[in-house]
Amino acid sequence: MAGDMSMPRRAFLGGVTALGAMSGLRMPAHAAVSPSVANLPARSNVVIRNAYVMTMEPSQPDLPNGDLHVDNGLIVDVGTGLAAPGAQVIDGRGFIVMPGLIDTHWHMWTTLLRNMSGDDRAHGYFPMTTALGKVYTPRDMYYGTLLSSAEALHSGITTVHNWCHNVMSYEHAVEDLRAMQETGLRGRFSYGPARSTPLTQPFSVADLERMHGDWASLSNEGLLTLGIAWRGVQAALPNAEGKMELRPLSPDMYRVEYEAARRLGLPVSVHLNSTKFDKGHIIALHKLGYVFDGLQVIHAINTSPEEMDILAAAGASVSISPASEMRIGFGLPKVAEYLDHKVNLALSVDTTPLTGNADMFGIMKLAQNLENGRSESEFKLPARKVVELATIEGAKALGLAERTGSLKKGKRADVIMVSTREVNIGPFTEPAYMLVDSAQASNVDTVLVDGRILKRNGKLTAIDVGKLMDEASAATQSIKQRANWK
């Protein structure tokens, strides 16, 4: 597969280099493979004035007529009437200015398979992604994550956790990661097995070590961090009669992967307690001494109070993805119960073949609605708490709270402007309610990641969506043909 890739990439690189020279833009470390992606814009010196600023800093009130000054990737100041000499001025009137939204678990490569989870068993999410994932080339990984990254920026998501569980070769991982580098997102790349890797076989630890060793050149100037996408120590699997039963997994797989991560100082992320057939997984990890502050557990719908206390005591985090969990029939994720147990809880997209899109506002709304519905209380989950889950709590879950997740002097400038003057959201009333009840991705007017303006006036600044759709559509058609998927 590596041989297939080299020719077209060289051809593309020539074109992109020429374009970069003509436009006078600084070439990024990794020239774009796709002609739909332009070089990243420079980090701006910009002041947003007279906006409704929600800093999401604990115990800090909103600034109803606030300014935010950003320069060279940093938040210089947030307040009222800031001086900011020489800075480009953006009129913030009519906008909520807030930290960029944070996704904490997303299989970004799967977006080429959007709307392909069928409504019969043979075409369900797992058989579909396994059958089609097997034929992915490194270039397909790139396009899947490129489309996801474009949608993240469109939706005001500035940090993602790219949970890559289709690493068929080192090049598959590198090409997937390349899409994050080219689009300028902040995030974690979690290195995992392939969709088709047997549960008895570990992923390539040698390749993980190679990626870790090369990380200084792969991290996109520190925007990206590395972790592992782990399969845990037990799984619910069908028995001979087709009934689901809980089985322990092989230490030859789980121990090798887990210990490699710990040896390299990497965080570990695992799906567990996802359905009624998978229970007690956190207890099992605890017995092995595997629960630590770099552990993130995903879904965790069937988690006992005892397990919640184990997570809280260790400083481990939980990522729920209500849109996918309900669509696939896992059940209703827990929200208030985790918060009562003081667990670091955050939100995630998971996979667009189940969720349809990556609208974090919709995910926030689902989280609130399902919790209020379950508790039969209009007041169970306050809107502002939900916004915290999608911002500062997400940053904590990814170990990034020193850099992002709130608007604070000295943090990196991951900022979004949400328009309140559109038909689905106005008139301006209570901002936290506006974000959770009304806002949609299309209301995101401006997005800065690390001080770069990547969406402005509702349009992506460095991605040509028309060209990207042509390329992504061609990739999807080719995947379906190669897999003979009907």
Contact 181, 149 (CB under 8 A): no
CB-closest chain residue to Zn ion: 350
Question: Rounded to the nearest whole angstrom, what is the least distance from the CB of residue 34 to Zn ion in the complex?
Answer: 26
Structure tokens at 266: 């990497």
Of 31 and 131, nearer to Zn ion (C-beta) is 131
Of 68 and 235, nearer to Zn ion (C-beta) is 235
Question: Rounded to the nearest whole angstrom, what is the least distance from the CB of residue 105 to Zn ion in the complex?
Answer: 6
Residue list 333-352, contact with Zn ion (CB under 5 A): 350
Question: Rounded to the nearest whole angstrom, what is the least distance from the CB of residue 254 to Zn ion in the complex?
Answer: 17
Residue list 199-238, contact with Zn ion (CB under 5 A): none
Nearest to 358 by CA among 188, 206, 155: 155
Of 307 and 350, nearer to Zn ion (C-beta) is 350
Question: Rounded to the nearest whole angstrom, what is the least distance from the CB of residue 319 to Zn ion in the complex?
Answer: 9
Q: Which of left, alpha, beta for 72 (phi over 0: left; psi -120 to 50: alpha)?
A: left
- The interface mask with Zn ion, positions 293-332, x = CB under 5 A, is ----------------------------------------
Structure tokens at 255: 């121990």
Nearest to 203 by CA among 190, 213, 215, 216: 190
CA distance 78 to 473: 42
Structure tokens at 451: 């001080």
Question: Rounded to the nearest whole angstrom, what is the least distance from the CB of residue 384 to Zn ion in the complex?
Answer: 27
Question: Rounded to the nearest whole angstrom, what is the least distance from the CB of residue 130 to Zn ion in the complex?
Answer: 14
Of 67 and 350, nearer to Zn ion (C-beta) is 350
Size of the site for Zn ion (CB under 5 A): 1
Question: Rounded to the nearest whole angstrom, what is the least distance from the CB of residue 137 to Zn ion in the complex?
Answer: 22
Question: Rounded to the nearest whole angstrom, what is the least distance from the CB of residue 229 to Zn ion in the complex?
Answer: 9
Of 282 and 454, nearer to Zn ion (C-beta) is 282
Among all chains, which residue has been given the structure tokens 């600034």?
A: 63
Of 176 and 350, nearer to Zn ion (C-beta) is 350
DSSP 195: T
Question: Rounded to the nearest whole angstrom, what is the least distance from the CB of residue 350 to Zn ion in the complex?
Answer: 5
Is the CA virtual torsion 284, 287, 293, 294 positive or negative?
A: negative
DSSP 92: -
Among all chains, which residue has been given the structure tokens 């996801």?
A: 148
Residue list 450-479, contact with Zn ion (CB under 5 A): none
DSSP 124: S
Residue list 349-388, contact with Zn ion (CB under 5 A): 350
DSSP 142: H
Per-residue buried b or exposed e for 3-20, using 16+ beta carbons within 10 Å of the residue's own CB: eebeeeeeeeeeebeebb
Contacts with 115 (C-beta within 8 Å, 6 or more apart), sequence order: 353, 356
Contact 227, 208 (CB under 8 A): no
Of 350 and 371, nearer to Zn ion (C-beta) is 350
Question: Rounded to the nearest whole angstrom, what is the least distance from the CB of residue 396 to Zn ion in the complex?
Answer: 20
Of 36 and 319, nearer to Zn ion (C-beta) is 319
- The interface mask with Zn ion, positions 392-421, x = CB under 5 A, is ------------------------------
Nearest to 179 by CA among 213, 135, 220, 229: 220
CA distance 405 to 413: 10
Of 96 and 108, nearer to Zn ion (C-beta) is 108
- DSSP conformation letters of 443-473: GEEEEEETTEEEEETTEESSB-HHHHHHHHH
Of 190 and 404, nearer to Zn ion (C-beta) is 190
Among all chains, which residue has been given the structure tokens 């990254």?
A: 149
The contact set with Zn ion (CB under 5 A) reads 350
